[in-house]
Amino acid sequence: MSDWLDEYFEEVETTADSEVGYSQVSYLLQLLEDCRYDDKVHEQFEVEILSSDLEWTRYSELVSTFTMNKLDVRYDYAPRQKDLMDFIRMICDLDEP
């Protein structure tokens, strides 16, 4: 009965050691576009993301870095409705429902 569980965790461990896939790379690039770094820094991040040896640990570091450095709604040309609603709640000091 526990054989399937062992196989599952072995598969997860091998996936964690493998390189990041295309969907994760495109997600990182999308997050990077939401941040406004200097041209040199932006270009360095792009090169790192598009390199073929990006690992999962670095992927998670980049996701957290880009999420923390995301621009405010005020600087976005067309913010999503959820982002706008969260911003209004923040400036009005309203609690989450």
Residue 91 CA to chain centroid, in angstroms? 25
Q: Residue 82: what pLDDT?
A: 85
Q: Residue 33: what pLDDT?
A: 87
Q: What is the pLDDT of residues 2-40, one digit of tens each?
A: 677 777 666 655 555 567 788 899 999 999 988 878 888
pTM above 0.75, yes or no: no
Q: Are 53 and 19 in contact (CB under 8 A)?
A: yes
* Rounded Cα distance, 75 and 94, in Å: 22
Domain residue spans of the chain: 20-92
